[in-house]
Amino acid sequence: MKVSLNLIRKYVDLPEDLTDEQIAYDMTLRTVEVEKVENTAQKFHDIVVGKILEIKEHPNADKLRICMVDVGEAEPIQIVCGGSNLYVGEYVVVSKIGAEVVWHGQGEPVKIAKTKMRGEISYGMICASSEVYLSDFFPNEGESEIVDLKGFDCKPGDSVADLFGMNDTVLEIDNKSLSNRPDLWGHYGIARELSAIYDAPLKELPQYDIPKVPAYNVEIKDTTKCNRYIAVEIDGIDVRKSPIWMQSVLSKTGQRPINAIVDITNYVMYAVGQPLHAFDKTHVSGEKIIVRNAKENEELLLLDNNSIKLTPDDLVICDESDAMGLAGIRGGKKDSILPDTKGIVLEVANFSADAIRKTGKRFAEKTDAAIRYEKGIDTQRVKEGADLALRLIKEIFPDSKIIKYTDVYPNETKKNKIKVSEEFLDTRLGKKISQEKIEQILTALGYEISLNNGVYDVVVPTWRSTGDVTIKDDVMGDIARILSFDSFEAKPITITFEHSIKQNDVLLERRIKEYLAERCGFYEIYTYPWIEEKYIYAAGINMDKSLKLATPPAPDLAYLRSSLIPGMLEAISKNLRYYDTFRLFDYEEVFEKGDYRPSSEDEILPIQKNYLTGCIVGKEAKEIFYEAKGVIENMARYCHMEDIKLEKIERPNWADIHAYLNITKNNEIIGSLGLVSVKVMTDSKIKRTNVAMFEINADKLIPYASRTNTYERLPELPLVEKDLSIIVDEEVTWKAIEESIESKVKEIEFVDEYRGNQIPDGKKSITLKVRILNEGTTMTSEQINEKMNSILKVLDKKCGAKLREE
């Protein structure tokens, strides 16, 4: 919404020493955020009224004329102009050197300079309306016509900004931030706020004495949807233009002026927030207005001859034969004001917010009227709107006459009554505010207030009683904001120490993430919960249990992830454009159909689990597999959580046929680790590289309450360390080797695996390191040899291992 400070000043005397920016700032802090402050006069600098004294042909151009123009200076100036409607004595808009105009109404403003046009010097420009921001005022200007100020009360040199009421400041407010304040949808409501902020008196709205006239026939069939309806029949109307001051207000607040009647209805809406509607009286057949619900399949004919289908939920304004308009939302063809309009029926009505909202939802574009009704307007404002409109009609059409008048008023907005104790205000506000100050603020906002035994009896004004202010907290909020939240001394928060905060699951998540990022070289990514279908298919995910969005961001993004693998595949394929080796991890929730009641029995949510997935991307499949395996094997120790195991049980769909392991905990599979299969990589466009991936249900990981391992005494005697290279059959696993000699050694460590020249086919060489120790004594070389021999014997017996000859 755009707010003209000139119009505001009609309703409240703002302190004179305030800058417009200060007003905007004060309003921002206390009422509603002002997004922009625009000085509307600024763009009119050096644009003045000129009078054409003389017109000469241009020697070198057919369409150009050379004009001598009086711009209120000592000497007239020469301007070259191509306007088609130039005449001597014409009052025109002149942009002098230095002015900024929009050439032909298009593009960014350009600064006027002294120029030569086909050999003739021009000291300015005689402008068309679109060039000097005046097209709202001259909608019918033809091509190459310039503004003709005939009929304006002006003289050469007058400021054009003044002439069109543009010496003003316009505050721009985001409509969204006004949605809870139906009273602020007109200038008068904003003025009331400023009167409270600055303790400046608010002027009363003018009333209008309705002459004694017969009643207009109005019938409200659904009084739950229409709370009040004033109909006024007025004669002596035509489609003359509204006065410039009114056009100016409309132009500044973003509404194109049309004709006086339409302008008045718009002006009143912007002034007091009450929508109005004018019907050509001859279009209302039967001289009767009926407010009723539409019939099934009833249609409303629009101005453009299209029609819209109505439903019985829609409230329509009708005459005796058919629908003329959709109540509170838009008019139809039948209600339009036409060039031959001589008399009108003016509608000032109140419709219930719910009804308007319900119908309005079906139309993409919200009308100004609908926006206001939706918020809930008090019924009292109907009369304020009518009075102001009638006064303006009389002013603009002095010969107009009210023929009939009706005020049908089935439901009145009742003032809410609230009790607010001083004690409540003192504690919640955190400081004592004097009774005088409280009364001053609330009275300025329209509340009636009295203090009885420490309790304020507060009567809420009607314009805040349509849902806005209902409880004492709302009243407290009004006091706090007018005082300004910023004015309250910030009170320290006390901490009572009851117990230390130790949330092991929260800490574990952090330890895991830090382990991966800081120790293992992974980068953390976040992915969207909706997953592109091709990656779900690529990962071979079963979608039976997957959830879908009703209105997804895109048609192929409807599924919510049940695994983090597809999102990871997408991230890998995108990053491969720039990197060939990298590590990523993602720790987020995944979803599947199910029965999960986290908070109350009535709410059954899908199953939601925290998953952790990670990948290592690199050329050497075997290498990255063992790297990934190492990441999982070491996780429990570094992250201080209960042990997890790796076992080969069942292949996840994404994994290679050979290289996969399941991650288990207490014999339950909680995740998998493996190389990504050729098929999955092909389907997800991952080329010329390999990927080792793991995925774990992180909810199954159990943190230790603290660091738990016990210290081991340092050995008194040094361990004897020996490397062994053995040759075994391909089928012999490291696990078998390890288990065979476990009891004979203190420590055993894998060093290397080798296949090659000296190793026969079907065999492999394994190098391992063992550390041995004799309890109590230092080992002699004989003892060492004896032990190593016995180790080799066992290896031979259990694994068929032979010592590799050097």
Q: Is 445 exposed, middle or buried (0-12, 13-18, 19+ CB in 10 A)?
A: buried
Closest to 192 in 3D by CA, of 458, 467, 441: 441
Enumerate residues 140-199 that contact other proteins by CB under 8 A.
177, 179-181
705 makes contact with other proteins (CB under 8 A): no
- For 531, residues 6+ apart whose C-beta sits below 8 A from its C-beta are 557, 559, 560, 561, 566, 567, 570
471 makes contact with other proteins (CB under 8 A): yes
632 makes contact with other proteins (CB under 8 A): no
Q: State how far the Cα of 685 lies from the Cα of 678, in Å rounded to an integer.
A: 10
Q: Give the one residue of 528, 623, 658, 668 binding other proteins; rule: CB under 8 A.
A: 528
Q: Give the one residue of 453, 551, 706, 781 binding other proteins; rule: CB under 8 A.
A: 551
714 makes contact with other proteins (CB under 8 A): no
Q: State how far the Cα of 455 lies from the Cα of 3, in Å rounded to an integer.
A: 37
Enumerate residues 317-356 that contact other proteins by CB under 8 A.
354
630 makes contact with other proteins (CB under 8 A): no
18 makes contact with other proteins (CB under 8 A): no
> Please, which residue, 23 or 160, has the CB nearer to other proteins?
23
Supply the minimum distance, in Å, between the C-beta of residue 510 and other proteins.
7
Supply the minimum distance, in Å, between the C-beta of residue 513 and other proteins.
6
493 makes contact with other proteins (CB under 8 A): yes
Q: State how far the Cα of 804 lies from the Cα of 320, in Å rounded to an integer.
A: 110
> Please, which residue, 49 or 170, has the CB nearer to other proteins?
170
Output the CA–CA distances (angstroms, integers) from residue 3 to 136, 173, 377, 567, in the order listed.
17, 8, 19, 48
Q: Give the one residue of 89, 453, 578, 756 binding other proteins; rule: CB under 8 A.
A: 578
Binding mask 424-443 toward other proteins (x if CB under 8 A, else -) reads: ---xxxxx------------
Closest to 286 in 3D by CA, of 345, 234, 223: 345
365 makes contact with other proteins (CB under 8 A): no
Q: Give the one residue of 59, 98, 201, 521 binding other proteins; rule: CB under 8 A.
A: 521
Residue 293 CB-half CA count within 13 A: 11
Supply the minimum distance, in Å, between the C-beta of residue 434 and other proteins.
17
> Please, which residue, 217 or 367, has the CB nearer to other proteins?
367
Q: Give the one residue of 116, 526, 555, 776 binding other proteins; rule: CB under 8 A.
A: 526
- Buried/exposed 673-694: b ≥16 CB within 10 Å, e otherwise: bbbbbeebbebbebeebbbbbb
734 makes contact with other proteins (CB under 8 A): no
Q: Give the one residue of 153, 296, 399, 602 binding other proteins; rule: CB under 8 A.
A: 602
Q: Give the one residue of 82, 109, 606, 800 binding other proteins; rule: CB under 8 A.
A: 606
58 makes contact with other proteins (CB under 8 A): no
375 makes contact with other proteins (CB under 8 A): no
> Please, which residue, 131 or 183, has the CB nearer to other proteins?
183
Closest to 528 in 3D by CA, of 552, 508, 505: 552
623 makes contact with other proteins (CB under 8 A): no
Q: How many CB atoms lie within 10 A of CB 235?
A: 15
476 makes contact with other proteins (CB under 8 A): yes
> Please, which residue, 536 or 791, has the CB nearer to other proteins?
536
Q: How many residues bind other proteins (CB under 8 A)?
A: 91
Taking CB under 8 A as the binding criterion, the range among 128-136, 321-329, 596-604, 622-630 that sits at the site for other proteins is: 596-604
Q: State how far the Cα of 608 lies from the Cα of 596, in Å rounded to an integer.
A: 8
Kindly write down the DSSP assignment for every residue of 69-112, as one continuous string: EE-SSSS-EEEEE--TT--TT-EEEEEETT-EE-GGG-SS-EE-
> Please, which residue, 324 or 356, has the CB nearer to other proteins?
356
> Please, which residue, 392 or 615, has the CB nearer to other proteins?
615
**Tokens 């009896």 — which residue?**
457
486 makes contact with other proteins (CB under 8 A): yes
Taking CB under 8 A as the binding criterion, the range among 69-77, 106-114, 469-477, 788-796 that sits at the site for other proteins is: 469-477
109 makes contact with other proteins (CB under 8 A): no
Q: How many CB atoms lie within 10 A of CB 95?
A: 25
**Longest distance between any two alpha carbons in the chain, whole Å:** 131
Q: Identify residue 388 by its one-letter amino acid code.
A: L
Q: Pseudo-torsion of CA 331, 337, 338, 343, nearest 10°?
A: 140
Q: Give the one residue of 495, 555, 688, 714 binding other proteins; rule: CB under 8 A.
A: 495
Q: State how far the Cα of 19 lies from the Cα of 12, in Å rounded to an integer.
A: 16
> Please, which residue, 96 or 192, has the CB nearer to other proteins?
192
Taking CB under 8 A as the binding criterion, the range among 29-37, 231-239, 319-327, 392-400 that sits at the site for other proteins is: 29-37
Q: State how far the Cα of 265 lies from the Cα of 110, in Å rounded to an integer.
A: 36
Q: Give the one residue of 143, 452, 550, 708 binding other proteins; rule: CB under 8 A.
A: 550
**Tokens 């049940």 — which residue?**
562
Q: Give the one residue of 53, 239, 517, 792 binding other proteins; rule: CB under 8 A.
A: 517
Query: Is residue 119 helix, strand or coil?
Result: coil
**CB-CB contact of 70 with 50 (8 Å):** yes
Supply the minimum distance, in Å, between the C-beta of residue 578 and other proteins.
6
Q: Give the one residue of 30, 51, 252, 404 binding other proteins; rule: CB under 8 A.
A: 30
35 makes contact with other proteins (CB under 8 A): yes
The alpha carbon of residue 336 and the mean position of all alpha carbons in its chain are separated, in whole angstroms, by 37
Q: Give the one residue of 4, 31, 251, 677 binding other proteins; rule: CB under 8 A.
A: 31
> Please, which residue, 146 or 425, has the CB nearer to other proteins?
425
Supply the minimum distance, in Å, between the C-beta of residue 33 and other proteins.
7
Q: State how far the Cα of 742 lies from the Cα of 791, in Å rounded to an integer.
A: 10
Taking CB under 8 A as the binding criterion, the range among 63-71, 283-291, 408-416, 566-574 that sits at the site for other proteins is: 566-574
Supply the minimum distance, in Å, between the C-beta of residue 611 and other proteins.
12
421 makes contact with other proteins (CB under 8 A): no
Kindly write down the DSSP assignment for every residue of 615-664, as one continuous string: EEEES-HHHHHHHHHHHHHHHHHHHTB---EEE-----TTEEEEEEEEEE
